[in-house]
Structure 1
């Protein structure tokens, strides 16, 4: 049996909830289909010590300030999960948890959304599945022969899991720096941090508040035809949150250049030398989770779907939300997703 609605939102994390808030304000009928069995989006799967880059008041979705966390300037992932669960309940958003969407297809003047629990027909679709479910692993020589443990950011939890092990942390972004710091400060593992290029730390006084302002300034410059400021990437790659700063200042966070290959029991370096390793943690990023949109044949360069703002150029009834700057400046952040969510809801209301 096919169910009907104005808008189907695919994904019930922060982007899907922000979309639901603005769709509700527009008076549209909608449903949010979310694969996770519980509220909280990807935040419920983060590692134990993860904290936001920004204070609570600068990490909020539209309409509802995130409350401060007791004894913490930067809220932890669990606090974010509680906030998102409360947000979903407070605005009575129609989220169907435990519902995985397999495909979105054209069906005349409607879009057909096929899920494991049934089929929905909508006049528009907002895809807000993010990237967490699609971790990227680089094609490093020897990765298939290494006999130690290999895991990605998505499955890292705690230094306690690596007691007395030799651990390679691969990746020069925030996740790599934070996990390397977590392990070195834990003191239970022998840690080697490996990056493709020398790590670039942002100034210590910059956090998520300043990063959002920089991203906003870049958006305005581009909209007004001024020179591209480069945005956040021009400042650096790594936010010096307190644990990262502590490990760096203690001399525990010094990166080595990328190794040449993995071997059965470690790595071979560019000079031919070898180091043993028991585990490799790949902090090598993610790709957009867009497999459900494959039947629409919209993929462009680098696997992205070309958009004007959030609206797909090849299918104007489809909006993409929260995947990064290509679907709205800072749209992959809590505070940044509100504006593109509002724009998407307004465009859909006009379309309908």
Structure 2
């Protein structure tokens, strides 16, 4: 869609990913004039920031973008990269959002009753603004990376594609979240020597008692729990559980990888004199991940017992391997390490937002996307409202809630605002 910039919009959406497109879908349904500003290209993260063997971790049936549910023949399978891109591309075409690609937003401020939005294509005003740029704006790489030997190739997960892109030799993967563990597995299956640096990421079974764990958790109601439930307010900062949908889905067990030759370490504490340094907490990290694994299975056990469901017998995971020591350093030259993959997550970029909507951690203060400033909304964040808020499962539900609120706000606005919204 080729657009020319208007001086004023009833709503401005910042970010052209699944959250921004979902917002546009509902804005269209309300007949609210709007524009979507996208710094790069629509849904570019799915196209440009995923490795070749990437696949969904949640089953296909959880793909529930607005008016665009999964329509394939394998609802309990896991779409691979090309299938995901095709699914997203169909959604992009269906929404046909008024997007200005290659347009960076540099400033959002409130001027009187309106919002002033500065972009690389010019300035516009708006009655409302939806911030849909997610928490995954900038790769987070520790400063210790600067002290690695120059000859070592360093990549963040967004730049990793496959084992063949790396020079021969051993690879260090720093970070044991979903991406780190899946990339470590990708390298391991390709026969590469992998040194895996663990953190506090929990893990989850893929299948348990005859079904995908996600299916059980859906039945239990885990995906309906909101961030306002007791003990859930800190969930937005949690690391995702590691498992995979690869080859039909399976557990990721770092202990099993260790038996097969992968070297495991505790959290990285620094780099000095050609060595990577670690805290002596490998056993603690593995044990904590297994406690979550067994805890989720125990939750399912209780559900099965309470409902009287006929299912295969319960089980408890017992460690396949235990570290005999706590390695505190890795000599990169001695171990022929030629590459480091930083699976250390992302940091948000809210620098363009000149509005007082953030808490002390830099996270927007909001309730299901509605901030304390009239006309300002956020979308697409992990645990914005539920477990699925940042994903295909529930981003559309949150977008519908936000746009309904926005429509009511415009409808109740002062005459000057209603006049501006009709231009």
Q: TM-score range by the shorter chain?
A: 0.7 to 0.9
Q: 2:331 aligns with which of 255, 271, 275?
A: 275
Other-structure match for 1:263: 272
Other-structure match for 2:103: 99
Q: 1:216 aligns with which of 223, 240, 248?
A: 223
Q: 2:161 aligns with which of 157, 171, 176?
A: 157
Other-structure match for 1:284: 344
Counting matched residue pairs gives 343
CA-based RMSD: 3.1
| Partners of 1:209 and 1:100 in 2: CA distance | 40
| Partners of 1:333 and 1:31 in 2: CA distance | 22
Residues 32-43 of structure 1: matches in 2 within 5 Å?
32-37=36-41, 39-43=42-46
Other-structure match for 2:87: 83
Cα deviation 1:296-316 (Å, max 9, x = unaligned): 243212111211220122x22
| Partners of 1:88 and 1:128 in 2: CA distance | 16
Shift of the alpha carbon at 1:35?
1.4
Indicate yes or no: 2:149 matched with 1:146: yes
| Partners of 2:347 and 2:194 in 1: CA distance | 27
Other-structure match for 2:133: 129
| Partners of 2:158 and 2:30 in 1: CA distance | 35
Residues 148-227 of structure 1: matches in 2 within 5 Å?
148-187=152-191, 189-197=192-200, 200-205=202-207, 206=212, 215-219=222-226, 222=229
| Partners of 1:53 and 1:339 in 2: CA distance | 20
| Partners of 2:11 and 2:174 in 1: CA distance | 40
The structure having more radius of gyration, on CA atoms, is 2
The answer (yes or no) to whether the contact 1:207–1:239 under 8 Å persists in 2 is no
Unaligned runs of 5+ in 1: none
The answer (yes or no) to whether the contact 2:13–2:129 under 8 Å persists in 1 is yes
Cα deviation 1:92-132 (Å, max 9, x = unaligned): 22122111111111121111111111222111011111233
The answer (yes or no) to whether the contact 1:55–1:68 under 8 Å persists in 2 is no
| Partners of 1:234 and 1:4 in 2: CA distance | 39
Q: 2:32 aligns with which of 28, 35, 40?
A: 28
Unaligned runs of 5+ in 2: 280-326, 411-423
Other-structure match for 1:312: 371
Once the two structures are overlaid, the 10-residue window that deviates more, 341-350 or 78-87, is 78-87
| Partners of 1:34 and 1:234 in 2: CA distance | 27
| Partners of 1:72 and 1:80 in 2: CA distance | 14
Cα deviation 1:25-67 (Å, max 9, x = unaligned): 1221111111123x32311121111101233332130101234
Shift of the alpha carbon at 1:136?
1.5
Shift of the alpha carbon at 1:327?
5.5
Q: CA 1:296 to 1:26, structure 2 compared with 1: closer, same or farther past 3 Å? A: same
| Partners of 2:79 and 2:339 in 1: CA distance | 29
Other-structure match for 1:338: 396
Shift of the alpha carbon at 1:172?
1.8
Classify the secondary structure of the residue corresponding to 1:99: coil
Shift of the alpha carbon at 1:209?
5.1
Indicate yes or no: 2:116 matched with 1:112: yes
The answer (yes or no) to whether the contact 1:53–1:241 under 8 Å persists in 2 is yes
